[in-house]
C-alpha cells in the first residue's frame, strides 16, 4: 500500500499549506518563509490566514502561527479556489455563499434580461441556466451535501423559476409542475450529474495525479 503526504496545494501565486497539528504547521510556515526570503519574495501577512479544523469532540483552540514575528489571523472560514472551507468541516457556509452569489446574479439580470418583454421565455431560461445555475452550483463536484443543503438550493431554484414563470405562491402550483413548465431539471439532479461527471474525469487520470489519489485513498495521521 502506497502512502503520500501532501503538505501544500499550489495555484498560480497562491499556496495553501496543511498539517496535522499546530507545531507542524509552524514548521511548514517557517520553511516557506525561508524559501521566500531566499528567492527575494515577500509573504503578505495581511492576506495570509490560518484555519484550524479540530477533530469531532475535540475542543477548539485558536492557532498561533507566526511569520517573521507576526501572528497570522485565525479565521472560521477560508476561501480557496472560490470554495468556502469552514472550521467545523461542513459545507454550510459554502452553500450560503453560493446562494448569495446566485441571488446577486439573478438580481443583476432581472431588469435587462429577465423582465424585458422583447426577450422570449426560452431565452430567459437559457440565460438563467448559464449564469445563475452555474453560480449556484460552482464547486458542487466536491460537496458532501445533506438533505438540508439540498432543500436550501432547491428552494432557491424553484423560487427563481416561479419568478420567471410569474407563478405566485397563492397559485399553489406543485414543484414538479414548475420544473415541467420551465423544462428544466431539478437542481439536485443537475448537481448529481456534475458530481458523476467529475468522478468519471478523475477516475481516468493517471495514478500519480493527486485528485485521483484522494478519490481512492484513506486519510491517516501524518508521521
Task: Provide the pLDDT for residue 203.
Answer: 93
Same domain, 191 and 123: yes
Same domain, 130 and 194: yes
pLDDT digits over 10-36, tens only?
A: 777 788 888 888 999 999 999 999 999
Task: Provide the pLDDT for residue 79.
Answer: 85
Same domain, 115 and 152: yes
Work out the pLDDT band at 80, boundaries 50, 70, 90.
confident
Same domain, 114 and 64: no
pLDDT digits over 98-141, tens only?
A: 999 999 999 999 888 988 888 999 999 999 999 999 999 999 99
216 within a domain of the structure (yes/no):
no
Structural contact between residues 56 and 49, judged by C-beta atoms closer than 8 angstroms: no
Query: In the predicted model, what is the mean pLDDT of residues 208-213?
Result: 87
Same domain, 193 and 150: yes
Task: Provide the pLDDT for residue 117.
Answer: 86
What pTM was computed for the model?
0.83
* pLDDT at 221 exceeding the cut of 70: no
Same domain, 46 and 102: no
* pLDDT at 219 exceeding the cut of 80: no
Ramachandran assignment for 49, one of left (phi > 0), alpha (psi -120 to 50 degrees), beta (any other): beta
Same domain, 62 and 106: no
CA 182 to chain centre: 27
Cα–Cα distance for residue pair 83/11, rounded to 1 Å: 14
The closest of 16, 8, 92 to 47, measured between CA atoms, is: 16
Q: Strand runs (DSSP E) across the chain, as ranges? A: 8-11, 14-17, 49-50, 66-67, 70-71, 73-74, 77-80, 83-86
167 within a domain of the structure (yes/no):
yes
217 within a domain of the structure (yes/no):
no
Instruction: Tell which of 50, 75, 100 closes a domain.
Output: 75
Same domain, 100 and 195: yes
Task: Provide the pLDDT for residue 171.
Answer: 85
Task: Provide the pLDDT for residue 1.
Answer: 64
Burial of 98: CB neighbours in 10 Å, binned 0-12, 13-18, 19+: buried
Same domain, 98 and 196: yes
- State phi, psi for 99 to the nearest 5 degrees: -65, -40
81 within a domain of the structure (yes/no):
no
Domains in the chain, number:
2
Same domain, 53 and 103: no
Say whether 143 sits in a helix, a strand or coil.
Answer: coil
Say whether 25 sits in a helix, a strand or coil.
Answer: helix
Task: Provide the pLDDT for residue 5.
Answer: 78
pLDDT digits over 145-204, tens only?
A: 999 999 999 999 999 999 999 998 888 899 999 999 999 999 999 999 999 999 999 999
85 within a domain of the structure (yes/no):
no
63 within a domain of the structure (yes/no):
yes
Three-class DSSP labels, 63-117:
CCCEECCEECEECCEEEECCEEEECCCCCHHHHHHHHHHHHHHHHHHHHHHHCCC
Cβ count within 10 A of residue 185: 13
Which domain covers residue 142, as residue numbers? 92-201
208 within a domain of the structure (yes/no):
no
* pLDDT at 223 exceeding the cut of 70: no
Q: What percent of the chain has pLDDT over 70?
A: 98
Q: Tell me the Cα Rg of the chain.
A: 22
Cβ count within 10 A of residue 62: 10
Same domain, 108 and 69: no
- State phi, psi for 97 to the nearest 5 degrees: -65, -40
Amino acid at each position: 500500500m502506497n502512502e503520500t503526504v501532501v503538505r501544500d496545494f499550489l495555484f498560480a501565486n497562491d499556496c495553501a499549506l496543511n498539517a496535522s497539528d499546530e507545531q507542524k504547521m509552524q514548521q511548514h510556515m517557517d520553511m516557506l518563509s525561508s524559501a521566500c526570503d531566499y528567492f527575494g519574495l515577500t509573504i503578505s501577512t495581511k492576506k495570509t490566514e490560518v484555519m484550524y479544523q479540530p477533530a469531532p469532540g475535540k475542543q477548539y483552540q485558536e492557532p498561533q502561527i507566526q511569520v517573521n514575528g507576526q501572528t497570522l489571523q485565525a479565521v472560521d472560514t477560508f476561501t480557496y479556489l472560490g470554495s468556502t472551507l469552514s472550521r467545523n468541516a461542513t459545507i454550510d457556509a459554502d452553500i450560503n455563499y453560493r446562494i448569495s452569489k446566485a441571488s446577486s446574479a439573478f438580481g443583476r439580470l432581472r431588469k435587462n434580461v429577465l423582465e424585458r418583454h422583447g426577450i422570449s421565455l426560452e431565452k430567459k431560461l437559457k440565460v438563467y441556466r448559464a449564469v445563475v445555475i452555474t453560480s449556484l452550483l460552482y464547486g458542487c463536484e466536491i460537496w458532501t451535501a445533506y438533505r438540508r443543503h439540498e432543500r436550501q438550493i432547491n428552494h432557491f431554484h424553484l423560487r427563481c423559476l416561479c419568478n420567471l414563470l410569474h407563478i405566485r405562491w397563492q397559485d399553489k402550483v406543485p414543484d414538479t409542475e414548475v420544473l415541467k413548465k420551465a423544462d428544466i431539471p431539478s437542481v439536485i439532479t443537475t448537481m448529481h450529474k456534475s458530481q458523476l461527471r467529475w468522478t468519471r474525469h478523475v477516475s481516468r487520470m493517471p495514478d500519480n495525479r493527486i485528485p485521483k489519489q484522494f478519490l481512492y485513498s484513506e486519510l491517516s495521521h501524518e508521521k
